[in-house]
Amino acid sequence: MVQAIDRLVRMRAAAALASLGMLAGCQCHWPHTSDEQIEPDRVADAEAAPACPAVTSAKAWVNRMPTIGSEPTRMIVMLDVDSKDSWFMAPLDMPSATGLILELKPGGAAVPGTVAYRQMAPAPLPDGIRILCRGSEIATVSDVMIVQ
């Protein structure tokens, strides 16, 4: 029994070393690519991504409904989009004096046709929320409702 365990340990160690050797070999022999070679791939990826969907409804609210426990107050932004693809929203890093700017991107785990974004409710609430897709504004929310 001890010999079988010792043999199994040695086989696993040999397999791990072989895997590391293959990985090291891949890294050493990886062809050098320049920025000129990468750009066409980026263009192809952008062209393969689905077109920005039409927004049929955009709304935002702060959920202050009483709950059991001490759940923090959240602001929710919800879009209904005319698309069979999944989309998600992420905040842009650029500062905005007038409100929140969100970027709509393909992917995510949303149900097709619905896109939601949640964050802790900011104080004060934003004057408006702009939603961008590929640099163009596709929707705005001018009033953040408070649900109590």
Q: Yes or no: say if 75 and 119 are a contact pair by the CB < 8 Å rule.
A: yes
How far, in Å, are 11, 43, 90, 132 from residue 47 at the CA level? Answer: 47, 6, 21, 18
d(CA 78, CA 80): 7
Residue-wise pLDDT tens digits, 62-121: 988 777 776 778 999 999 999 999 999 999 977 667 689 999 999 988 788 999 999 998
pTM of the predicted protein model? 0.63
Residue-wise pLDDT tens digits, 121-139: 888 888 899 999 999 999 9
